[in-house]
Structure 1
């Protein structure tokens, strides 16, 4: 029986050079080669499943839950993503998270309001026809 020594087949890099960590591509190729050797099949590329990006409407719903939980900073991040993807409701909700009056109404402490950004976002929401003019006019005061 042949005795296998630990690390006996590993090569050390030349002095002054660090060993390179395997890349994702290299790992996928190595796994494919191992499967081919084990099962006698032709080399097949194995792809990791792509993570589905949430739909903009789902992002807005997540942001609304975060607002109800009092996580305004988290909601802002999620709403930015939704707004960048063209979700119209995200604009109005993001404006509310910057509005000092809304932050007071939600009893938020420790988060800086940004009235100028709120006004700009409310104006954008009005241009996109998102809310009734009366509520937007009140929000922009």
Structure 2
């Protein structure tokens, strides 16, 4: 089996969460950052939690598809939502996440089982395992 790899390169300049800008060499990503209003910012840009949620939900959707295919389960229209929460407490920031999935034609019990398997396959889930609380919700 041939191993394949890909390295994403993203550079952030400026003040990070406070108006910094992240770009990729291919130009496919070009975002300005801002603290969310809920944390005292102006909300005039994206934030790292949104970017993590975008990547994680996309990755998890792929892992969910693999888990289903391996079990010969057909997923209908499928949606995965990642809710990434940052909690700021006396200058210390911590993350937690909720992954929600729905799939047409699959009951919630089966979907929950597939989500548990996907959680062992998804590289984002592997990277965060044991590091942040993650809740899986089917339906």
Query: What's the TM-score, normalizing by structure 2?
Result: 0.23
Higher share in helix: 1
Quick one: higher RCO (CA 8 Å, sep 6+), 1 or 2?
2
Higher share in strand: 2
Which structure: larger Rg? 1
Query: What's the TM-score, normalizing by structure 1?
Result: 0.23
